[in-house]
Structure 1
Amino acid sequence: MASKTLQRLMDVAPRGLPLDPQVLRDCGISPQQTTYLVNAGWLQRLSKGAYLLAGDSPTRDGILAYLSRRIPGLHVGGRTALDWQGVRHNVSFRGRVVLWAERTYVMPDWLGEHMSYTLQTTRLFDDRLPADTGLSSVPNRDLSLLVSEPERALLELASDIGKCRAKGQSLEEAMNIAASLRNLRPEVLDTLLTHCTRVKVVKLVRDLGEASGFPWGQDLQRHVDRLGPGRRWSSSRKDRPRFTLKA
């Protein structure tokens, strides 16, 4: 019986995917059977509610699929989302995954051993915008994992400018990335900016758009004016140069 249960699990569970209790139940494995498989050495317990086939190691995509089942609103965003869709500038950053979610989440200790990441929970939009706007799956990855489309990723990229070094994004690199975003959809960007509540983000997207010279970057001042004409925005951090955004 145990061998049949284990074989069923190996047939269904992708390699590198941490298994939570729901996945195990979907495979027909009860909590009692899970305990038996752990004690018998066929499953390894990573942490409470996280298991892995013995001899297996968590992969980046497996970890992200596991987290997407547990963290509300989790998606890959910002620079990582753009990188996954072919827009990149500094390849040295590609090992760190930028994650966004609706609220903070205490990551298990084992996760950091297998994936470098940041988790961002800044609220960018008002309640009138559906939470999944500008999010979709990408080819050749787990369909349960959502990724920001380029227009939303640009706003998330702008949000990270000027933050602490661990989560920060340089303005210079953001401008270089924006210069590669030739095919942004103006109507999608307009919808996102219409519902964005962050003055800094709207101003930065305006400035990045103007610097890019692309059609999507034209006529964005109206979004700044909606949030308050004449308001300057300034940032100063010990580990970052001071910068000020025009009104």
Structure 2
Amino acid sequence: MSTHNESKINQLLQLQPPGVVLLASWLTEKGYSLDLQKRYRKSKWLESIGSGAMKRTGEKVDVTGALFALQSQKGMSIHIGAKSALAYLGKVQYLELNSKKVFLFGDKNEKLPAWFNQYQWGVEINYYSTSFLPPGRGLTTIDQAAFQLKISSAARAMMECLYLVPEEQPLLECYELMESLNNLPPAKVQTLLEACTSVKVKRLFLYLAEKANHAWFNHLKHDQIDLGSGKRSLVKNGTYVAKYQITVPQELENYGH
């Protein structure tokens, strides 16, 4: 390989932190043609992990390195959410968390690329594309070894858990998660609740927050949150909570009494 190309690959390797996926489309935008990328792979600088995606040869990449590429190189809103985000934020101390399962959320128009779905990350990926919350709203940044990653804040992650109720997330476990969220900023919670389009999520969030007796709950402007009309039943033969017009498991309603 020519000295010029070696200099160019060194510049490239400084552009992105170690441990992240390098997308062919992003490299092309940065002036690294597909032909040059092919030569880098042939020279063992880079190795393919699927169509349109590479990593530095000899490096290990995990789901966070892949998400970093989607966020920083493609500008996508796909992020770690729900219970997985709460685990990253240290909010799941006493709950059994299956670290082999990762919950990801993205906008309704965003799909995980084929290379992402086909690569063996060593964890089960559960991806939900939905716009019940605006993309990018209510995210926070966490530090990885060599880069920063956007994930759901505690308030958004809680709402994502409730979005998965009852099919993929037990409501009683959501209450146990809510109990640990005693210091949420009311203004940020308010903004998310006002932007949320899921009546189920909003009613459950307020019900669980009130049941957990969180001080921040009292600072919310309830009249500015649209809770829709009509009853919502989450379980058969449950207990009806008139204030929020929801039917919840009797076990939950009696919890802590």
Q: Same-fold call, TM > 0.5?
A: yes
For 2:15 and 2:182, the matched residues in 1 are separated by: 41
Residue 23 (structure 2) pairs with residue 20 (structure 1): yes
Instruction: Say what the alpha-carbon RMSD is for the aligned residues.
Output: 3.0
- SS of the residue aligned with 1:137? strand
For 1:176 and 1:64, the matched residues in 2 are separated by: 28
For 2:48 and 2:12, the matched residues in 1 are separated by: 15
Aligned letter for 1:99?
L
In the alignment, what sits opposite 2:233? 234
In the alignment, what sits opposite 2:88? 84
For 2:16 and 2:225, the matched residues in 1 are separated by: 51
* Offset, 1:20: 0.8
Change (3 A) 1:197 1:5: closer
Contact 1:208–1:217 under 8 Å retained in 2: no
For 2:140 and 2:7, the matched residues in 1 are separated by: 37
For 2:121 and 2:25, the matched residues in 1 are separated by: 24
- SS of the residue aligned with 2:166? coil
Aligned letter for 1:198?
S
For 2:201 and 2:52, the matched residues in 1 are separated by: 37
Q: Which stretches of structure 1, 4 residues or longer, exceed 6 Å deviation after superposition?
A: none
Q: TM-score, normalised by structure 2?
A: 0.76
In the alignment, what sits opposite 1:122? 130
* Offset, 1:79: 1.5
Structure 2 unaligned blocks of 5 or more: 246-257
* Offset, 1:12: 4.5
> Could you tell me the percent identity over the aligned residues?
24
In the alignment, what sits opposite 1:189? 189
For 1:20 and 1:7, the matched residues in 2 are separated by: 17
In the alignment, what sits opposite 2:138? 134
In the alignment, what sits opposite 1:98? 103
Aligned letter for 1:233?
R
* Offset, 1:49: 1.2
Greater Cα offset, 147-156 or 211-220: 211-220
Change (3 A) 1:72 1:191: same
Structure 1 unaligned blocks of 5 or more: none
Q: TM-score, normalised by structure 1?
A: 0.79
Contact 2:79–2:151 under 8 Å retained in 1: yes
Residue 67 (structure 2) pairs with residue 64 (structure 1): yes
